[in-house]
Structure 1
Amino acid sequence: MKNKTILLSIIVYLLGVVLMILTICNVIPYCYKIKGFNKVLESVINFSAIIIGFYSAMYGVLLTLKNSDIFKKFKFYGAESTVKFQLYESLICSFFVLVSSIMMQVLENYINIITNIVSSLWIGAILILMFSTFRSISLLLRIMFNHDERLKIENDVIDNTKRQDIIDNFKK
């Protein structure tokens, strides 16, 4: 599970880097050249601020669920590191997009190579933010609404094959 999450993250990061390179090489026009860019920038700032607020609220809810069955299952199946990784990744990416969007509001008045590099990083970060936000929110929803009877931990010992089947089902 951990390897699949890391592989998916690497693919998303590579797509972000490709998007950055396409922007730097002028295959995709720089953001500032697009009409209505200011409105897009404001929307991205609002979106990333809402996502950060959502994560903050969900982390508070997760603290209240710390001793619940789902966290016992995470610990039992070794999924804690995957959950932490996804939540940290999405929160850090949200903060980066927010801060870089605010910087771009100022930099649009000073177009130069630095501004173009920041613009390219921003475009790639938005792509990464979309994927990481989707993965984290779907993970949080799975945590919040976990009613899968197959995942109940019984007092009996679960053999490794059944344990692996449950882990594979959790990845989906």
Structure 2
Amino acid sequence: MTAVRERLTPEQVRTRIEAVPDPELPLITLGELGVVRRVTETPEGTLEVTVTPTYTGCPAMDTIVAEIRAELARCGHPDGRVLTVLAPAWTTDWITPEGRRKLAENGISPPGGRTDPPHVRLGTGAVCPHCGSTATRPQSPFGATRCQSVLVCLSCGENFGHMKAI
């Protein structure tokens, strides 16, 4: 994104930060992933961006923080701060409908909700992004990123990533 000459408002900054791609899944933005909690201004005029990682110890957090700091600078807030909060813990329920659509369009089965039946949370019954079947089963608990597992579709035989529900 391009730099601005004046300092943007917290609302404008939030819009730009939410548009930053996730470093592990660049098909989805930080806003669509639901990790941006708030953007507030301190009484001294410093912007603070609060984020919650998808996992404690998420290997992408250093990159996420660096990207947010860079965007703060481009928005006229080089003194802005990024705060990481762990409570309440991030949940896949925070992924937006647009984010879920993008995951599915890119061959990653979106997670079920925390209140879904256990078989859906575990991946069995997840919708295959290739053929739409729910006849799926776990292939591997580990996928391309820590937040994914690999499932196999029993209908079309394709393997696909599945974002774990947490």
Give the structure-1-normalised TM-score. Answer: 0.26
Bigger radius of gyration = 1
Which structure has the higher relative contact order (CA within 8 Å, separation 6+)? 1
Which has more strand, going by share of residues? 2
Give the structure-2-normalised TM-score. Answer: 0.27
Which has more helix, going by share of residues? 1
